[in-house]
């Protein structure tokens, strides 16, 4: 089969590799019908994730058709259409039993395209298939369900829920890429008074408006801190969400929050960021970090299936699986190409 293989920082190739086989009784082999590229894949290619080694197939998001299951799989069978989650859950370790699947110590967690071969391929082996895949709802397309593999649950859990968004809040979101836009979509479920989207790209701020932000700020031309304080009688945001992953954006996020507010970090950071405790130690600010657990995926699936969430608006570019190199180029130059999410399907 063909797959997109990582060969060290800055190096990848669509090449012939062995088709995966059942290795454990709880495995499933899934034919990939639709896949996408995540900002985390770009971080891997930049060298920010050293645990990913030369020869690993990239990718952790897919919708596909089950081809084969191991004898220990009970709830998934050949022919099922499934969402392959970015998080693999053993289902029985301490963290899984508490719903913290991202921290699984029983062989799961974020492993696809990270520690083991991933989904940017014609076929993928999914460990713990019963607890790591979800049936695609009848009447839903591969494309709309694909957005629930990572970005929607990540932003909802790590941004909106960890940030404790409540009705009437002012929510400031730094970054209007797919993760930031997903945070807008999730925050809207809680009826905030204002959603402020902050980015340097006008095209992404236009997208933020379409997704539901009522205030947008290009921080290359306007002071977002002053704008947020203007909206909040000088206090600052109730919830400030970091959705980029650089030192500067984290520090901006911290500057936006009010005393007693919440800072929720979603961004993947490849270098240290400064948190000014000399200013914040008296301000009763809660700071949260997190890797998605995907405990919200069933809820989000119901919201998509009932048309209460429109995930198709994320998709800006379409490719076939053998066009992964071109798709990466398009996604990696999002400021020029105006790409949000790219979808790759079988030709």
- Average pLDDT across the chain, whole number: 97
Query: Do 141 and 148 touch, CB atoms closer than 8 A?
Result: no
Rounded to whole angstroms, the Cα distance separating 236 from 172 reads 9
Query: Do 38 and 150 touch, CB atoms closer than 8 A?
Result: yes
* Topology, domain 153-288: Rossmann fold (3.40.50)
Q: How confident is the model at residue 75 (pLDDT cuts 50, 70, 90)?
A: very high
| % of the chain at pLDDT higher than 70 | 100
Distance of CA 141 to the CA centre of its chain: 19
Query: Do 101 and 89 touch, CB atoms closer than 8 A?
Result: yes
CATH class given for the domain over 2-150+293-345: alpha beta
Q: pLDDT tens digit string along 279-290?
A: 999 999 999 999
Joined tokens for residue 179: 């993760």
Q: How confident is the model at residue 335 (pLDDT cuts 50, 70, 90)?
A: confident
State yes or no: pLDDT of 347 exceeds 80: no
Q: Please tell me the pTM assigned to this model.
A: 0.95
Map the chain to HEC letters. CEEEEECCCCCEEEEECCCCCCCCCCCEEEEEEEEECCHHHHHHHHCCCCCCCCCCECCCCEEEEEEEECCCCCCCCCCCEEEECCCECCCCCHHHHCCCHHHCCCCCECCECCCECCCCECEEEECCHHHHEEECCCCCCHHHHHCCCCHHHHHHHHHHHCCCCCCCCEEEEECCCHHHHHHHHHHHCCCCCEEEEEECCHHHHHHHHHHCCCEEEECCCCCHHHHHHHHCCCCCEEEEEECCCCHHHHHHHHHHEEEEEEEEECCCCCCCCCCCHHHHCCCCCEEECCCCCCCCHHHHHHHHHCCCCCHHHHEEEEEEHHHHHHHHHHHHCHHHHCCCEEEEECC
Query: Do 55 and 112 touch, CB atoms closer than 8 A?
Result: no
Q: pLDDT tens digit string along 24-63?
A: 999 999 999 999 999 999 999 999 899 999 999 999 999 9
Beta bridge partners of 141: none
Q: What is the mean pLDDT of residues 292-319?
A: 97
Q: How confident is the model at residue 4 (pLDDT cuts 50, 70, 90)?
A: very high
Q: pLDDT tens digit string along 109-160?
A: 999 999 999 999 999 999 999 999 999 999 999 999 999 999 999 999 999 9
Q: Residue 313: what pLDDT?
A: 95
Delimit the domains of the chain by residue range: 2-150+293-345, 153-288
Q: What is the mean pLDDT of residues 214-241?
A: 98
Q: Residue 231: what pLDDT?
A: 97
State yes or no: pLDDT of 89 exceeds 90: yes
């Amino acid at each position: 089969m063909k797959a997109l293989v990582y060969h060290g920082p800055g190096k990848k190739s669509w090449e012939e590799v062995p088709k995966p086989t059942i290795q454990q009784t709880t495995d499933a082999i899934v034919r990939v019908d639709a896949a996408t590229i995540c900002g985390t894949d770009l971080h891997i290619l930049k060298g920010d994730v050293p645990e990913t080694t030369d020869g690993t197939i990239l990718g952790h998001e897919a919708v596909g058709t089950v081809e084969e299951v191991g004898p220990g799989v009970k709830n998934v069978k050949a022919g099922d259409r499934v969402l392959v989650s970015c998080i693999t859950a053993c289902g029985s370790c301490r963290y899984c039993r508490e719903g913290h699947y991202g921290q699984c110590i029983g062989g799961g967690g974020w492993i696809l395209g990270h520690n083991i071969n991933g989904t940017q391929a014609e076929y993928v082996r999914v460990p713990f298939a019963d607890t790591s895949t979800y049936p695609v709802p009848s009447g839903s397309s591969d494309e709309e369900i694909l957005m629930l593999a990572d970005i929607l649950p990540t932003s909802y859990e790590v941004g909106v829920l960890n940030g404790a968004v409540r009705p009437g809040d002012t929510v400031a979101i730094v970054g209007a890429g797919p993760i930031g836009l997903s945070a807008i979509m999730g925050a809207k479920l809680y009826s905030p008074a204002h959603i402020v989207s902050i980015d340097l790209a006008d095209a992404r701020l236009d997208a933020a408006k379409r997704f539901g932000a009522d205030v947008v700020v290009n921080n290359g031309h306007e002071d977002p801190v002053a704008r947020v304080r203007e909206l909040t009688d000088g206090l600052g945001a109730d919830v400030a969400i970091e959705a980029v992953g650089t030192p500067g954006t984290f520090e901006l996020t911290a500057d936006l929050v009010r005393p007693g507010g919440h800072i929720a970090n979603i961004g993947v950071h490849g270098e240290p960021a400064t948190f000014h405790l000399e200013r914040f130690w008296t301000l009763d600010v809660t700071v949260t970090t997190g890797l998605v657990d995907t405990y919200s995926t069933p809820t989000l699936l119901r919201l998509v299936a009932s048309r209460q969430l429109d995930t198709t608006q994320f998709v800006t570019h379409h490719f076939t699986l053998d066009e992964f190199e071109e798709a990466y180029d398009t996604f990696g130059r999002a400021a020029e190409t105006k790409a949000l999410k790219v979808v790759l399907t079988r030709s």
